[in-house]
Amino acid sequence: MTDMTRLGIDFAGVHFKNPIVPASGTFGYGKEFEEFYPLSELGGISVKGTTGSRRNGNLPPRIAETPSGMLNSVGLQNPGIDHFIAEELPYLKTKDTVVIANIAGSDADEYRTIAEKLDKTDVDMIEVNISCPNVKAGGAAFGVSCDGAAQITKIVRSATKKPVMMKLSPNVTSIADIAKACEAEGADAVSLINTLLGMRIDIRTGRPVLHNNVGGLSGPAVFPVAVRMVWQVANAVNIPVCGMGGVSSWEDAVEIMMAGASLVQVGAAIFNDPMTPVKITEGLSEYCRTKDIMLKDIVGAVKPW
C-alpha cells in the first residue's frame, strides 16, 4: 500500500488522494482492472467516453502499433449514458476513488442532454470530450475552434453544477487560445492532450492500417508535445490543468506536473503494463518522501530559460 499522504491534490473543488487517473478509453469502466489492484489505489478514473445513446464505433482494425506509440480509432463505442448511470456509476461510486464521467456528443443538444442527466447523479466530475479524432460527426469539430469550444462549454456549464473539465485537442494552431475560450465560458478545468491525428498505410496492400483510415496517436511518442501544450495552457489560464499524453513513468508524471499539470492521466502505457498507474503512484510517493516535499508543490515549478 502506497503512502499517499504527500500526494493529495485539490483539483476544481474535488479532492484526489493522488493525481494519477487512468485516461478515458483505456480503462473501460474500471472493473476489468480490479483483477490487478483495488481501484482505491487510483486518484480517480476517467471512464470510457459516453454518448447519448449506444454506439457501435468503428470497424476493425482499430489499433496499430507505431514507433514508441500507437494509433487507435475506436470511434466512441459505448453503451450510452443511461446504461452508464444505471449500471456502471453506482458500482464505481463504492470504490473510494474519484469518478470522472467522460462525455461526447455529435451536436450541442446531445452534450446538453448528457450533462443534465449526469447533474442528477453523484458523479464527481464531468470531462467533456470535444476532441475525439475518430468520429466524423462529432467532438473534434467543436474542439478545433475557439467558438466551437466556447459553445459546448457554455451549454454543459448551464446544464450542470458539477465540476466541468474540457478535454482539448492538440490538432489545433493555438491550444492556449482554445483553453482561454473554455475558461471564459465557465469551465472549471481543462485536460489535454487528446490524441494527435495520424495515419499508417500497409505498403503491401495500399490500405490504411486502420479501417477508419486515420486515428489518434498516443504513447511516449507524443509526450513532448503534451508537455509543451500543458506548459502553454497553464501559462494562459487560471483554471487547473490535467495533463496527459504518453505519460508512462513517475518521472514523466513529475515532468508534466512541472509543466503545469496538477492532475495526470495515464492512457496508452496501461496497454503495455496494466500496473502503470500504481507504479507511478508508488514512484511519486518515494520521490516526495526523498525530497521531503508535498507533490502539489511541484505543479508549474519549471524554471524556463
Instruction: Specify the 3-state DSSP secondary structure of 36.
Output: coil
Nearer to other proteins, 55 or 180 (CB): 55
| DSSP-assigned letter for residue 165 | E
State in angstroms the smallest separation of the CB of 84 from other proteins. 14
Q: Which is nearer to other proteins, 183 or 252 (CB)?
A: 252
The catalytic residues are 132
Cα radius of gyration (the chain): 18
Distance in Å, CB of 94 to other proteins, minimum: 19
197 contacts: CB under 8 Å, gap ≥ 6? 133, 171, 214, 215, 216, 217
User: Do 249 and 283 meet the contact criterion of CB atoms below 8 Å apart?
Assistant: yes
Q: Which C-beta is closer to other proteins: that of 173 or that of 205?
A: 205
Three cell numbers at 281?
A: 503512484
Which residues are CB-contacts of 230 (< 8 A; sequence separation ≥ 6)? 192, 193, 241, 243, 256, 259, 260, 261
Least distance CB 48 / other proteins (angstroms): 7
Three-state SS for 14?
A: strand
To other proteins, the closest distance from the beta carbon of 209 in angstroms equals 9
Residues that bind other proteins (CB under 8 A): 25-28, 32-33, 35-36, 48, 56-57, 59-66, 68-70, 72, 74, 77, 219-220, 268, 270-275
Of 279, 141, 130, 106, nearest in space to 192 by CA: 130
Residue with C-alpha cell 492512457? 267
Residue whose CB is less far from other proteins, 116 or 271: 271
CB 85 within 8 A of CB 121: yes
Minimal distance, residue 202 CB to other proteins, in Å? 11
Helices 108-119 and 146-159, axial angle in degrees (round to 10): 30
What is the spatial distance between Cα 190 and Cα 127, in angstroms, rounded to a whole number? 8
For other proteins, the closer of residues 47 and 284 by Cβ is: 47
